[in-house]
Structure 1
Amino acid sequence: MLVLVVLCISSGLGYRFYNQPKLDVGKIAPQTLIAPYSASVEDVTTTEEKRREAHSGASAVWVVDREVNEEIYQNLQVLLTQGREIRAQLGNFPFYKTAILSTATQTYLRQAPQPQWQILLQTLEKNSNFTNLNSEQQRAVRELRTYRQFNSPQAFTQLLKAIASARQNYNLALTTLNPEEIFPQNTHSIYNQPLIIYDESFLNLADADWQKTQIQVRQTLERMLAQGIYPGISPDTLKSAIAMQVSVSIPQTAQPLANRLLLAVIQGNLVKDIEQTKLIAEQAAKAVKPIIVSIPKGEVIVSAGTTITQTNFVLLDYFQLSQRSIDWLRLTQFTVIVGLAVAIFRWVEIRFKAKLRRKDYILIILLILSAPLLLFLSKSLTGLPAIGLLVGSFYGTAIGGTVMGLLTILLSIGSGMSWHNLIPSAAGGILGGFMAGQWRFPGREGLRTREELATLGILIALTQGVVYLLVNTAIAPLWYTVLGTAALKSLAGLIWSILALGLSPYLEALFDLVTPIRLAELSNPNRPLLKRLAHEAPGTFQHTLFVATLAEAAARALNCNVELVRAGVLYHDIGKMHDPLGFIENQMGSPNKHDEINNPWKSAEIIKKHVSEGLVMARQYKLPSAIRAFIPEHQGTILIAYFYQQAKQQQQDNPQQILQESDFRYDGPIPQSRETAIAMLADACEAALRAQKDATPEAALAMVNNILKARWQDRQLVDSGLTRQEMSQISHVFVQVWQQFHHQRIAYPKL
Structure 2
Amino acid sequence: MTWVAPGGPAADVSLGDPSAPGDRPPTPRHPLDVPTIRPPLPPPSQRPRWSLRQPLALIFTVTTLTGLMGQRFYNQPGLDVGRRSPTTILASESATVEDVKSTEEKRKAARTGSIPVLKVDSSLNQQIYTDLQRWVDQGQAIRQALGPFPPIPFSQIPASVQLYLRDVEESIWLTIVETVNRSRPNPSPNPSVPVPRSTPDPANTAVLDEATRAATDQAIAALTRYRNSYPTEDYVALLRKLFQARENYQLALQLMETERQSLTPPLEDASSTVAIPLIYKSEFLQISDQVWQETQQGIYRALERILTQGIAPGVPSDILDRAVRVQVKLEVPAAGEPLAVDLLGRVLQPNLIQDADRTKLMAEQAADAVEPVYVTSRQGEPIVKMGDEITQAQFVLLDHFNKSERSANVWGLVSFGLVVTLGTGIFVLVSWRCHPKMRNRDRLLVMFFVLSTPLLALSTPNVTSLEISSLPAVGILMGSFYGSTLGSVTVGVLAVLLPLGLNMDPDIVVASAASGLVAAQIAGRLRSREELALLGAGVGLTQALVQLLLSVSLSAAAGPVWSLLLKVAAVQGLQGLAWCVVALGLSPYLEHLFDLVTPIRLAELSSPNRPLLQRLALEAPGTFQHTLFVATLAEAAARALRCNVELVRAGTLYHDIGKMHDPEGFIENQMGGANKHDQINDPWRSADIIKKHVSEGLVMAKRCRLPKAIKAFIPEHQGTMLIAYFHHQAQQLEREDPANYGVNELDFRYPGPIPQSRETGIVMLADSCEAALRSLKDATPEAALAMVRKIVRGRWQDQQLVESGLKREEMDKIAETFVQIWQQFHHKRISYPAAIGPALAPPVIPGPGASPSSAAVKS
* Aligned residue number for residue 587 of structure 1: 670
Matched residues in 2 for 1:326 and 1:650: separation? 84
- Contact 2:527 2:603 survives alignment (8 Å): no
Deviation at 1:530, TM superposition (A): 2.6
Q: Is the 8 A contact 2:301 2:331 kept in 1?
A: no
Q: Any residues of structure 2 matched to 1:567-606 within 5 Å, and which?
A: 567-606=650-689
Matched position secondary structure for 1:308? coil
Give 1:223 shift: 1.4
The answer as to 2:553 corresponding to 1:469 is no
Say whether the 8 Å CA contact 1:183–1:196 is kept in structure 2: no
Q: What residue identity is the alignment partner of 1:639?
A: L
Query: Does residue 59 of structure 2 align to residue 59 of structure 1?
Result: no
SS at match of 1:293: strand
Specify which of 682, 703, 714 is matched with residue 787 of structure 2.
Answer: 703
1:447 aligned to 2:527? Answer: yes
Aligned to 2:403: 321
- Residue in structure 1 matched with residue 483 of structure 2 by the alignment: 396
Alignment of 1:113-132 (within 5 A): 113-127=169-183
How far, CA to CA, are the matches of 2:406 and 2:591 in structure 1? 43
Given that 2:324 and 2:341 are in contact with CA atoms closer than 8 Å, whether structure 1 keeps it comes out as yes
SS in 2 for 1:178: helix
SS in 2 for 1:388: helix
Q: Secondary structure at the match of 2:765?
A: helix
Deviations along 1:402-421, one digit per CA (max 9) or x if unpaired, are: 21112111212222111122
Distance 2:303 2:599 in 1: 67
2:692 is equivalent to residue 614 of structure 1: no
Find the counterpart in structure 2 of residue 441 from structure 1: none
Supply the AA of the counterpart residue of 1:716: Q
2: CA distance, partners of 1:429 / 1:522: 27
Q: Which residue of 2 aligns with 1:361?
A: 443
What is the RMSD of the two structures over their aligned residues, measured on CA atoms? 2.6
Contact 1:635/1:670, CA 8 A, preserved across alignment: yes
Q: Partners of 2:395 and 2:441 in 1: how far apart?
A: 45
Q: Which amino acid is the alignment partner of residue 311 of structure 2?
A: I
**One-letter identity of the residue aligned with 2:120:** V
In 2, Cα distance between the equivalents of 1:726 and 1:606? 34
Deviation at 1:681, TM superposition (A): 1.7
Are the counterparts in 2 of residues 388 and 430 from structure 1 also a CA contact under 8 Å? Answer: yes
Q: Secondary structure at the match of 1:392?
A: helix
| Residues 1:94 and 2:150 aligned together | yes
CA distance in 2, matches of 1:512, 1:631: 17
1:205 alignment counterpart: 287
Query: Helix, strand or coil: the match of 1:622?
Result: coil
Flag structure 2 segments of 5+ consecutive residues without an equivalent. 1-53, 186-201, 266-272, 839-859
Distance 2:370 2:803 in 1: 69
User: Residue 24 of structure 1 is aligned with which of 57, 80, 104?
Assistant: 80
2:600 is equivalent to residue 521 of structure 1: no
Pairing partner for 1:488 from 564, 567, 571: 571
Which residue number corresponds to residue 218 of structure 1?
300
> Do residues 531 (structure 1) and 614 (structure 2) align?
yes
Give the partner amino acid of 2:69. Answer: L
State the AA in 2 paired with 1:399.
L
| Deviations 1:645-704, CA, capped at 9 Å, x for gaps | 333434444556654444433232222222212211211111111112322233222222
**Please, which moves more after superposition, 389-398 or 14-23?**
14-23
Provide Cα deviations, 1:166-211, integer angstroms capped at 9, x if missing partner: 111111211111274587479xxxx964221111111111111111
Between the aligned partners of 2:217 and 2:375, the Cα distance in structure 1 is 92
**Alpha-carbon deviations, 1:318-337, whole Å to 9, x = none?**
34433333322222222222
Deviations 1:428-469 (A, max 9, x none): 22222111112xxxxxxx232x22211111222222222222
1:271-325 Cα offsets, whole Å, 9 max, x none, are: 2222222222222222223323344555543333332222232233334433333
Query: SS in structure 2 opposite 1:723?
Result: coil
Give the aligned partner of residue 443 of structure 1: none
1:412 aligned residue: 499
Greater mean deviation of Cα atoms: 364-373 or 294-303: 294-303
Cα distance in 2, alignment partners of residues 206 and 734 from structure 1: 98
State the 1:270 CA deviation: 1.8
| 8 Å contact kept, 1:229–1:270 | yes
Query: Which range moves more in the overlay, 418-427 or 213-222?
Result: 418-427
Q: Does 1:45 align with 2:101?
A: yes
Which of 333, 346, 350 aligns to 2:415? It is 333
Q: Identify which of 283, 287, 307 aligns with 2:369.
A: 287
Q: How far, CA to CA, are the matches of 1:315 and 1:718 in structure 2?
A: 74
SS of 2:383's equivalent in the other structure is strand
8 Å contact from structure 1 (residues 195, 264) kept in 2: no
SS at structure 2 position matched to 1:177: helix
Alignment correspondent of 1:714:
798
Comparing 191-200 with 241-250, which one deviates more in the overlay? 191-200
**Deviation at residue 340 of structure 1 after TM alignment:** 2.1
| 2:132 and 2:343 in contact (8 A); partners too | yes
Kindly indicate whether residue 515 of structure 2 is the aligned counterpart of residue 433 of structure 1. Answer: no
Q: Is the 8 A contact 2:638 2:648 kept in 1?
A: yes
Q: Give the Cα separation in 2 of the matches to 1:39 and 1:667.
A: 84
Q: How do residues 102-181 of structure 1 correspond to structure 2 at under 5 angstroms?
A: 102-127=158-183, 134-178=213-257, 180=259
Q: Which residue of 2 aligns with 1:732?
A: 816
- Name the CA distance, whole Å, in 1 between partners of 2:681 and 2:519: 60
**Matches of 2:230 and 2:302 in 1, distance apart?**
46
Deviation at 1:262, TM superposition (A): 1.4
2:723 maps to 1:723: no
1:255 to 322, 337, 340: 337
User: Given the superposition, is the C-alpha separation of residues 661 and 35 from structure 1 closer, same or farther in structure 2, using an over 3 Å criterion?
Assistant: farther
Task: Give the SS at the match of 1:301.
Answer: strand
1:75 maps to 2:131: yes
Larger radius of gyration: 2
Aligned length: 739
Larger mean CA deviation between 29-38 and 368-377 belongs to 29-38
SS in 1 for 2:375: strand
The answer on whether the counterparts of 1:179 and 1:196 sit within 8 Å (CA) in structure 2 is no
1:236 aligns with: 318
Residues 184, 228 of structure 2: 8 Å contact kept: no
Give the whole-Å Cα distance in 2 for the aligned partners of 1:298 and 1:582.
101
1:335-354 to 2 correspondences below 5 Å: 335-353=417-435
TM-score calculated relative to the size of structure 1: 0.92
2:359 alignment partner AA: T
Judging changes above 3 Å, is the alpha-carbon distance between structure 1 residues 532 and 171 closer, same or farther for their aligned structure 2 residues? closer
In the alignment, the residues of structure 2 paired with residue 404 and residue 525 of structure 1 have an alpha-carbon distance, to the nearest angstrom, of 36
Paired residue type of 2:700: M
Question: In the aligned structure 2, how far is the partner of 1:292 from the partner of 1:725?
Answer: 79
**Identity %, equivalent residues:** 52
Deviations 1:208-235 (A, max 9, x none): 1111111111111111122222332333
Distance 1:601 1:623 in 2: 31
Contact 1:79 1:182 in 2 (8 A): no
Query: In the alignment, what sits opposite 1:9?
Result: 65
Shift of 1:104: 0.4
Are the aligned partners of 2:260 and 2:278 in contact in 1 as well (CA < 8 Å)?
no
Contact 2:469 2:508 in 1 (8 A): no
SS in 1 for 2:74: helix
Counterpart residue number, 2:771: 687
Of the structure 1 ranges 541-550 and 240-249, higher mean CA displacement relative to structure 2 is found in 240-249
Between the aligned partners of 1:303 and 1:667, the Cα distance in structure 2 is: 83
- 8 Å contact from structure 1 (residues 420, 471) kept in 2: yes
Where do 1:543-562 residues align within 5 Å? 543-562=626-645
Q: Distance in 2 between matches of 1:185 and 1:718?
A: 83
Taking the aligned partners of 2:738 and 2:264, their CA distance within structure 1 comes to: 109
**Structure 1: gaps (5+ residues):** 439-445
Q: In 2, Cα distance between the equivalents of 1:30 and 1:268?
A: 60
Residue 584 of structure 1 deviates from its aligned partner by 1.9
Work out the CA distance in 2 between the residues paired with 1:743 and 1:34. Answer: 98
